[in-house]
Chain A
Amino acid sequence: MKEDTKKTPRVGLFVTCLVDLFRPTVGFAAVKLMEEAGCTVEVPMAQTCCGQPAYNSGDREDAAAIARQTIEAFEEYDYVVAPSGSCAGMLKKHYPSLLKATSWEERADAFSGKVHELMSFLVDVLGVTSVHARHEGSVTYHDSCSGLRELNVQKQPRQLLATVEGLELKEMPNADVCCGFGGTFCVKYPDISNKIVEEKTASIAASGAETLLAGDLGCLMNMAGKLHRQGSGIKVRHVAEVLAGMDDAPAIGGGGR
């Protein structure tokens, strides 16, 4: 660990609503990875969602209320970590602008400094350089947009994946292009979203990998849903599951065709 080695860092896990509801395995994988790196992980019960559905629909009032609620629940921790670039980006980058020029401005800024996306937290903050995991087979990694462009998550997951025994990383073309999920976008503009995810699944297939990994459950559910609909046998998992050696759970959306 790079920082104070005497004190065990206390991490508040921001589970994210999608992981909470659809894929608890990702949450437990995140906990395992951080505990193995020497953290104490707690899960405040007062959390729900990061507020993006409201924020991105132009509903600032509800978004700000959720932001205040989240800050209140998490500000006592040394770190706030989310297994999602999109939610971490919301907490870190958008809460401060949402609460700017309100009585919460200072608290939002202080809170922002504690927030990290899981991969970035492990590598950039904790200095983790390898994991103890085994995964037989080839994977390809999709860079989810917010993590990539708001939080510079790109090298970190690849760095850790390189230390997984038996794993072969096969890069897809245009790994950094959006999968078409976009939160409420995918249901508001289903045809466009579908066209974009079709491009994405073509890229994924072109990589020749057996498993698709990414760091954001929204994108993963979108891509998994499309791959299944297309009858593809490519399995889909959150990158944390593989890094934590928890790839024995069924893949997202189930395994086979």
Chain B
Amino acid sequence: MEVESPKFKEKARRAIADEQLQRAMGKARIGFVGKRKKAVEALPEFEELRSSARAIKDHTLAHLDLYLEAYERKVIASGGQVHWAETAEDARRAVLAICRAAGARTVTKGKSMITEEIALNDFLEEEGIQPVETDLGEYIIQLRGEHPSHIIGPALHLNKEQVEEDFRRVHTALPAGRDLSQPESLLGEAREILRPQYFAADVGITGANFLIAETGTSIIVTNEGNGDLTQTLPRVHIVVASIEKIVPTLEDASQLLRVLARSATGQDMSVYTTLSTGPRRPGDPDGPEEYHVILLDNGRSSMLGTEFHEMLRCIRCGACMNHCPVYHAVGGHAYGWVYPGPMGAVLTPSLVGVDKAGHLPNASTFCGRCESVCPMQIPLPRMMRHWREREFERGLNPATQRFGLGLWAFFARRPRLYRLATALTIPVLAGLAGSRGRFRSLPLAGGWTRHRDLPAPETRTFMQQWRDRETRKQERSAA
């Protein structure tokens, strides 16, 4: 997928003007927040569980090489195959090789952000293999030729009328007069259309929410059941997962599951939590004959041990974007790549370069709501600031910005000069505003006054007035 993050500002502006999108975002803004809050309030231990979950991932990351080796041993012992991939291209090639060996013409897919990250669908299509997304949201956006706008709600940016339009456009074999006005009928239609696809597919591809070193198990967490049909019915199951998905034990996975769904959708548990270990066993009446795991690095190892290390704790619940005022304002597509919201603002520069994704960590008010709800206690604002530091070091900020900041810092570091300058300018500004108390426009303040008035200074600075007060005090005590 092309990185469109450099166009963030323009895309954001268009998103804000898009009434359809704003209507969809209005629902998202309320829904997720309330559901999470309710689930969290119903579990008194939730805050402690966050700390516990964080500790598990911290331990795992400090021993990541060893747990990956242990995991690999167990996958092989259970009859599965492990393919290591350093880059997205390596991972795509590995998937293709397996599909070719299986003689695959179509593959079904469970919802997976990692396959979005490696742009697998476009690649497979180019190679003559038809990928079929089976998660309802993913299916809808595949029909539209779009990318997910949210990591757990891919079609969050759409309204049901848009979905109806797409279904009518694509499902031409169905009667034109059918009623698709309700979400129920849209869901029913998608179910009917997709059901035969599961049976027709030669290969099923899923991601993984967790990989368990103790047992060589991969876990998917879904609500629809599409992931299970995807991985159970075809002859070959491929799991694509990045290396930081690993956790040591079943118990560790259980701890993380307790915070995952609550943070994501406000459920205590998602409907289907499926732990898969290897291919079909002798005598099994169903299940895939081959089980492959593609372990993808794609930049993760370069984050380990840096100031972005803690981002590797992320379990992709989406709580950060669900609570982000910037995400709410612009939606996921404005971010211009796979991962939106605060987690995307930290991760995207790591994966595609801060020169391309520099806007993302800058477009934050540092309100801290993301960090306060992150089940893994990832200090997202701090890491966005680290990206700003790297940009500043490399001189990537615009010249006018650097000049303004430099000028300001010159005065801020020289209190006497600062006093003098402010004592001269503030009363002038106050005078200009007069009794109205605000400016509708002001030279050099266009960024502010385009959308709002600028409250004017009262009269003189506090420091000027305070000096007068102190002088009067001294005179009084002298007298």
Contacts and interface: CB of A to CB of B under 8 A. Distances in A.
A and B in direct contact, judged by CB atoms within 8 A: yes
Interface of A: 15, 17, 19-25, 27-28, 43, 45-49, 51, 53-60, 62, 65-66, 69, 73, 145-146, 149-150, 176-178, 180-183, 185-197, 199, 221-222, 224-226, 228-229, 249-255
B391 A24 contact: no
A228 B438 contact: yes
Interface residues of B, number: 64
Most buried by A among B16, B371, B455, B457: B455
B426 A21 contact: yes
Contacts of B463: 15, 20, 43, 45
Interface of B: 9, 12-13, 16, 325-326, 328-330, 362-369, 371-372, 385, 387-393, 397, 401, 405, 408-409, 411-413, 415, 418-419, 422, 426, 435-438, 440, 447-463, 465-466
A229 B365 contact: no
B325 A43 contact: no
A177 B327 CA distance: 13
A22 B413 contact: no
A196 B326 contact: yes
Contacts of A194: 450-452
B18 to A, nearest CB: 11
Contacts of B13: 191
Nearest to A42: B470
Contacts of A53: 405, 408-409, 412
Contacts of A226: 451-453
A221 to B, nearest CB: 5
Contact of B458 (A25, A197, A225): A25
Nearest to A194: B451
Contacts of A255: 437
Most buried by A among B325, B391, B462: B462
A58 B438 contact: no
B333 to A, nearest CB: 14
A195 B330 CA distance: 9
Given A20-B463, A45-B415, A226-B451, A58 B391 contact: yes
A190 B450 contact: yes
A49 B412 CA distance: 6
Contact of B453 (A15, A66, A229): A229
7 contacts: A23-B457, A24-B461, A48-B413, A186-B448, A188-B401, A192-B363, A228-B452
B37 to A, nearest CB: 11
A187 to B, nearest CB: 3
B437 A189 contact: no
B365 A58 contact: no
Nearest to B16: A195
Nearest to B323: A177
- The 3 A-B pairs of least Cβ separation, nearest first, read A254-B437, A182-B365, A187-B447
A188 B361 CA distance: 12
A196 B329 contact: yes
Given A58-B388, A191-B13, 20 more contacts: A15-B463, A23-B458, A25-B458, A46-B415, A48-B413, A58-B390, A69-B413, A177-B367, A186-B447, A186-B448, A191-B9, A193-B451, A195-B330, A196-B328, A221-B454, A222-B452, A253-B454, A254-B435, A254-B438, A255-B437
Nearest to A26: B462
B437 A225 contact: no
Contacts of A191: 9, 12-13, 16, 451
A13 B460 CA distance: 18
Nearest to A225: B452
B385 A56 contact: yes
A22 B450 contact: no
Nearest to B408: A53
Contact of B366 (A145, A176, A222): A145
Contacts of A254: 435-438, 455-456
A15 B408 CA distance: 18
A181 B455 CA distance: 14
Given A53-B405, A57-B401, A196-B329, A185 B452 contact: no
Contact of A56 (B329, B388, B408, B466): B388
A190 B452 CA distance: 10
Given A195-B16, A229-B451, A149 B392 contact: no
A239 to B, nearest CB: 16
Contacts of A224: 438, 453, 455
Contacts of B388: 56-58
Nearest to B450: A190
Given A20-B461, A182-B366, A59 B452 contact: no
A23 B433 CA distance: 14
Contacts of A20: 422, 461-463
Contacts of B448: 186-187, 190, 225
A74 to B, nearest CB: 12
Contacts of A51: 412
Contact of B397 (A55, A57, A195, A252): A57
A144 to B, nearest CB: 9
Contacts of A24: 458-462, 465
Nearest to B447: A187
B458 A253 contact: no
B405 A59 contact: yes
Given A58-B391, A187-B448, A228 B453 contact: yes
Contact of B385 (A58, A182, A190): A58
Nearest to A19: B462
Contacts of A185: 362-366
Contacts of A253: 437-438, 453-456
